[in-house]
């Protein structure tokens, strides 16, 4: 079996009296899509915020290639190769594709002068690698479709060294066609073989289409995990509903 890139063991996070995560384990492998599923409030956001260095865990350990790491800030996490693409994508609409691509990490020459041409070319090429050919890297991000923006954010994370790519509900705010574009983009990243993708979603169909491995969270705990073959389709649906039997739900609904 392939070696995992990142391993999370017994992660606990408490916010005062509230336990957001109660001992979560997670293992991600390069060249795989790992779907992280769970209802609202299951702890998905807390988990990725810890992995992204935004929050520090109360207890538990994170290993990157067998070395234990501690993220004190988002900078630590991205230095360790964790690239997070949040739902809002952290893009600025009024700025050009290139300016967004290099935002905060500009290539500069003497006196802080931007190496504009080089940056344009890199932004264009990196997006082309994962499937979108933008005609003009100087166009404002505001003129791009949701799928294109998602691709820009992913390409940016990869270019700046992400080995674990965390995608926070990348398909949720998009139309049908663009959802498919994003899934294709994910599969192209997966095909590179060196990047592990954590795919956070509510959508059972999407996760079934692209994921190799699943982890289900409910009330801050892992209630099911395994590879696609280990978990049958019915199992996935049951776990998606937070462990409650769909049949029970059907009865409850009928009774109303």
Cα distances (angstroms) measured from residue 92 to each of 61, 102, 127: 35, 11, 17
143 binds other proteins (CB under 8 A): yes
Is the Cα torsion angle 159, 161, 162, 163 positive or negative in sign?
positive
> Smaller CB distance to other proteins: residue 75 or 251?
75
- Region of 102-110, 190-198, 222-230, 239-247 interacting with other proteins (CB under 8 A): 102-110
C-alpha pair distances (Å), 138 with each of 90, 108, 141, 156, 243? 18, 17, 9, 15, 48
Nearest approach, Cβ of 127 to other proteins (angstroms)? 10
Is the Cβ–Cβ distance between 8 and 51 less than 8 Å? yes
Out of 22, 25, 69, 86, the only residue in the binding site for other proteins (CB under 8 A) is 86
Closest alpha carbon to 155 in 173, 180, 175, 137 = 137
Residue 123 binds other proteins (CB under 8 A): no
Told to check if 173 binds other proteins by CB under 8 A, we report no
How far does Cα 89 stand from its chain's mean position?
A: 11
Residue length, the chain?
Answer: 256
User: In angstroms, what is the minimal distance from the CB of 100 to other proteins?
Assistant: 8
How big is the CA angle at 144 (ends 167 and 117), to the nearest 5 degrees?
A: 95
CA–CA gap between residue 62 and residue 60 (Å, rounded)? 7
Q: Is 180 in the site for other proteins (CB under 8 A)?
A: no
Both tokens assigned to 230: 């280990």
Interacting stretch for other proteins, rule CB under 8 A, among 20-28, 96-104, 193-201, 244-252? 96-104
Size, binding site for other proteins by CB under 8 A: 37
Applying CB under 8 A, which of residues 10, 56, 125, 142 lies at the interface with other proteins?
Answer: 142
Instruction: Tell which one of 1, 16, 66, 112 touches other proteins (CB under 8 A).
Output: 112
* From 93, 193, 230, 237, residue interacting with other proteins (rule: CB under 8 A): 93
- Of 144-152, 212-220, 224-232, 245-253, the window that binds other proteins (rule: CB under 8 A) is 144-152
Per-residue DSSP letter, 105? S
Binding site for other proteins (CB under 8 A): 74-75, 86, 88-95, 99, 102-106, 108, 111-114, 116, 132-136, 139-140, 142-145, 147-148, 181
């Amino acid at each position: 079996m392939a070696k995992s890139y990142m391993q999370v063991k017994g992660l606990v996070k408490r916010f005062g009296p509230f336990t957001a995560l109660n001992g979560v384990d997670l293992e991600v492998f390069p060249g795989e899509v790992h779907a992280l599923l769970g209802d609202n409030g299951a702890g998905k956001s807390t988990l990725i915020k810890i992995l992204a260095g935004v929050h520090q865990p109360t207890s538990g350990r994170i290993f990157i290639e067998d070395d234990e790491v501690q993220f004190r800030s988002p900078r630590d996490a991205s230095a360790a190769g964790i690239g997070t693409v949040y739902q809002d994508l952290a893009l600025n609409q009024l700025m050009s594709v290139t300016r967004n691509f290099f935002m905060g990490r500009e290539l500069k020459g003497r006196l802080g002068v931007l190496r504009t041409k080089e940056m344009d070319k890199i932004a264009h090429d990196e997006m082309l690698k994962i499937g979108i050919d933008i005609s003009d890297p100087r166009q404002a991000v505001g003129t791009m479709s949701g799928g294109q923006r998602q691709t820009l954010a992913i390409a940016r994370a990869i270019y700046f060294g992400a080995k674990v790519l965390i995608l926070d509900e990348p398909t949720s705010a998009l139309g049908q066609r663009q959802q498919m574009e994003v899934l294709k983009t994910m599969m192209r990243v997966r095909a590179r073989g060196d990047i592990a993708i954590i795919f956070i979603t509510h959508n059972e169909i999407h996760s079934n289409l692209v994921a190799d491995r699943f982890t289900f969270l409910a009330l801050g705990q892992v209630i099911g995990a395994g590879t696609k073959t280990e978990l049958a389709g019915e199992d996935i649906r049951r776990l998606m509903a937070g462990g409650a039997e769909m049949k029970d739900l059907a009865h409850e609904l009928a009774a109303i």
